[in-house]
Amino acid sequence: MIYYFSATGNSKWVAEELAKGTGDLAVSITEVMKSKQLPPPIKSGETLGLVFPVFAFAPPRFVIDFVRKLHVADDAFVYTVCTMGGAAGGTFRYLEKFIKLNSCYAIKMPSNYIVMSGREPADKIKEKLAKAELMLPAICESVKAKKAELKARNSFVSFLLTEAVATLFNKFASDKAFRSTDRCTNCGLCAKLCPLDNITLENGRPRWHGNCMHCMACIQNCPAAAIDYGNRTRDRERYVFDFLK
């Protein structure tokens, strides 16, 4: 089983490519969490894949919450693939506090953190996606062979930095600056896509309720670009994964 979390499609694409290449099934963590059902246990000898974006040098807290619900046999093979704009920090060591990992891989993908910076230039996006596509067959072969591969695990020092950055990020990432603009068409997609069900519609317009992990699903996927984070995203081009286009 491959479980993935994805706000703008990068990790979803990686998970689906891994599923194709390994003959496994890719399942959305958001859907499992929204169903309120416990995921089935990963039994002895089975393979578990976890795919997710890096948030502030660590796995998103949503992914950690999901991992804590998993029951995984001691001799199951567990691999993880993170997608990231540029630096995974101590992501894997952080995850290892919650689950044993047999192998881990980091894939550079276009950055989606529009609060920090806008969409990367088209040629940079193209280059990252082409490199990512080249990495996937080898990862699939290693996973199928259940090969231990822990090179992407960073040093203990970067893990300590991660602890500090991720703790501060999870404490202070706030939805207070999100707002909808007059371009809003009341379609409700933002509320539907929010993994944490943190958005409701009031008179057709989104309202955020304080439980936000900053995944950027609402702002990036809005078909009318009608969501902003304060003023800083006003002139920034949105990003969602569009490799096939």
3-class secondary structure, 14: helix
Cα angle vertex 88, ends 169, 191, to 5°? Answer: 50
Chain centroid, CA 150 distance in Å: 20
Told to check if 148 binds ligand FMN by CB under 6 A, we report no
What gap in Å lies between CA 143 and CA 120, rounded to an integer?
A: 31
Neighbours of 206 (CB within 10 A): 23
Q: Pick the closer one to ligand FMN by CB: 76 or 218.
A: 218
Q: Pick the closer one to ligand FMN by CB: 56 or 101.
A: 56
What gap in Å lies between CA 232 and CA 97, rounded to an integer?
A: 35
Residues contacting residue 211 through CB under 8 Å, at least 6 positions apart: 175, 196, 198
Told to check if 55 binds ligand FMN by CB under 6 A, we report yes
Residue 41 Cβ, how far from ligand FMN at the closest point, in Å?
A: 26
Told to check if 57 binds ligand FMN by CB under 6 A, we report yes
> Among 80, 102, 103, 112, which residue interacts with ligand FMN (rule: CB under 6 A)?
112
Told to check if 54 binds ligand FMN by CB under 6 A, we report yes
What gap in Å lies between CA 128 and CA 85, rounded to an integer?
A: 9
Residue 139 Cβ, how far from ligand FMN at the closest point, in Å?
A: 15
Q: Left, alpha or beta for 188 (phi > 0: left; psi -120 to 50: alpha)? A: left
Told to check if 56 binds ligand FMN by CB under 6 A, we report yes
Told to check if 10 binds ligand FMN by CB under 6 A, we report yes
Told to check if 85 binds ligand FMN by CB under 6 A, we report yes
Told to check if 30 binds ligand FMN by CB under 6 A, we report no
Which range of residues in 81-89, 131-139, 185-193, 203-211 is near ligand FMN by CB under 6 A? 81-89
Q: Pick the closer one to ligand FMN by CB: 30 or 76.
A: 30
Number of residues that bind ligand FMN (CB under 6 A): 27
Phi, psi of 103 (to 5 degrees): -155, 155
Residues found near ligand FMN in the complex (CB under 6 A): 6-12, 53-57, 83-87, 89, 109-113, 214-216, 241
